[in-house]
Amino acid sequence: MLDDVRAQFPILSETAHGRPLVFLDSAASAQKPECVIEAMGHAARHCYANIHRGLYDMSERTTQAYEAVRDDVARFLNAADRREIVFTKNSTEGLNLLAHSLGNQLKPGQAVLISALEHHANIVPWLMLRERLGIELRVAPLDAAGDIDLTAYEDLLRDGRVALASVTHMSNVLGTITPAKRLVELAHHYGAKIILDGSQSIVHRKVDVQALGADFFVFTGHKLYGPTGVGILWGKLPLLEEMPPFLGGGDMIRSVSFKAATWADAPHKFEAGTPAILEVLGLGAAIRFVEGIGAERIEAHERELVAYAQERLEGLEGVRIMGRPVERGGVFSFQVEGAHPHDLAVLLDQQGIAIRAGQHCAEPLMHELGVQATARASFAIYTTCDDIDALAHGIERTRSLLA
């Protein structure tokens, strides 16, 4: 139990429909600890100015605080160089940046490989690239448990036409922790670069980009207890240096004339315009907050929750849990007999329990699973076994109401 941590999230003392709030939708967007709220508020009240351009003291101090977060992220990911950290709007923007700056270098006849687990953010940019360039999009299937079929994944790489693989590190639907190092090894063996979408994994596991060996890694701040509007693209520096910019404008140039422009060095050539300054400062506070708790403590807490939820939900009559991957993070998608997921979510909300219902921006995976939608409960460092009990009791009450 992380009671000392839970107390740092002021919103968890709120009520919903007159009942204590049970928040089980952290995979969509996690709640914010007081330190994140305070960091953003303090900067807005006492030291806000645009960065990189002002020569006055407040601008210089804000610039220093902003760039210090780049160091925080580099340390958090164990990046080899702070210049490998690109600030984006979210994981979606990071993946779109790669689809343009890296993907536009692909040639007809080459392929991009993804998996059946992917969020729309890691599908649609590659569909758009296919429309632009005529490249092939390949999809690695799943096995019956909800893990990527590694034999099929390798078979899709084998002809050497895959130039780029882009695969989730953790599914936002099934909670599947993918075998990232093996996926990376296979991609590199067959000459492909590889991106890992860490939108979910960054919250649930310690991520060491050097140990993983991937070429790129993306995550988003709002799932890591930080604010919306800020995300991270990490890339190996030589690759970032070779890539052209994605967006043009201020702060990403070295020089501009009416004849031509030249680009700043990485990472700044990928950070056009005034950035999300307060949000970056909030992300830095979130990272320091997570580091203060410690990866081992977070992972131990999560493993306890996942094991408890698996047993508790499987013990409920009429509940079908989707997938049983080899390793699962704190995400459970499920269906309840006799209750549409949307109806279930509304009726649980009346009991103070917040879950997700729908396709979770993973419509192709829903088709793969043979369902139209699921309910989803997702966990965070503030989730407790009592929350899981509340969900179980809520499902039982809902079934009795609908019987």
User: In 348-364, which positions are buried (b, 16+ CB within 10 angstroms) versus exposed (e)?
Assistant: bbebbbbbbbbbbbbee
Q: How far is CA 363 from CA 74, 117, 188, 340, in A?
A: 33, 10, 29, 17
Q: Give me the phi and psi of 93, to 5 degrees please.
A: -65, -40
Please check whether residues 92 and 175 belong to one and the same domain: yes
Q: What is the pLDDT of residue 1?
A: 52
Residue 267: asked if its preceding bond is cis (omega within 30°), the reply is yes
Residues making up the chain, counted from first to last: 403
CB atoms within 10 A of CB 377: 26
Q: What is the pLDDT of residue 386?
A: 97
Q: Which of 291, 314, 347 is the C-terminal boundary of a domain?
A: 291
Token duo for residue 313: 């939900």
Q: Which of 272, 291, 310 is the C-terminal boundary of a domain?
A: 291
Q: What is the pLDDT of residue 398?
A: 94
Q: In terms of residue numbers, what domain contains 168?
A: 37-291
Please check whether residues 189 and 307 belong to one and the same domain: no
CATH assignment at residue 267: 3.40.640.10
Q: What is the pLDDT of residue 4?
A: 87
The type of residue at 238 is P
Please check whether residues 352 and 248 belong to one and the same domain: no
Q: What is the pLDDT of residue 402?
A: 84
Q: What is the pLDDT of residue 403?
A: 73
**Residue 361 annotated as catalytic:** yes
Please check whether residues 269 and 360 belong to one and the same domain: no
Is 32 inside a domain boundary? no
Is 302 inside a domain boundary? yes
Q: How far is CA 377 from CA 129, 175, 247, 311, in A?
A: 33, 10, 36, 14
Is 282 inside a domain boundary? yes
If 0-12 CB within 10 Å is exposed, 13-18 middle and 19+ buried, where does residue 319 land? buried
How many domains are there within the chain? 2
CB 241 within 8 A of CB 270: no
Each residue's pLDDT, cut to its tens digit, for the chain (403 residues) gives 577 899 999 999 999 999 999 999 999 999 999 999 999 999 999 999 999 988 999 999 999 999 999 999 999 999 999 999 999 999 999 999 999 999 999 999 999 999 999 999 999 999 999 999 999 999 999 999 999 999 999 999 999 999 999 999 999 999 999 999 999 999 999 999 999 999 999 999 999 999 999 999 999 999 999 999 999 999 999 999 999 999 999 999 999 999 999 999 999 999 999 999 999 999 999 999 999 999 999 999 999 999 999 999 999 999 999 999 999 999 999 999 999 999 999 999 999 999 999 999 999 999 999 999 999 999 999 999 999 999 999 999 999 888 7
Task: Give the residue from 331, 330, 301, 332 showing the smallest Cα distance to 316.
Answer: 332
Please check whether residues 243 and 129 belong to one and the same domain: yes
pTM over 0.85: yes
Task: Give the residue from 164, 213, 219, 222 showing the smallest Cα distance to 184.
Answer: 213
Q: How far is CA 137 from CA 41, 116, 170, 310, in A?
A: 44, 12, 21, 35
Catalytic residue among 35, 47, 361, 385: 361
Token duo for residue 293: 């708790």
Q: Which of 242, 258, 291 is the C-terminal boundary of a domain?
A: 291
Dist. CA 71–CA 87, nearest whole Å: 12
Please check whether residues 316 and 239 belong to one and the same domain: no
Q: How far is CA 273 from CA 53, 116, 237, in A?
A: 11, 35, 22
Q: What is the pLDDT of residue 296?
A: 93
Please check whether residues 242 and 354 belong to one and the same domain: no
CB atoms within 10 A of CB 402: 14
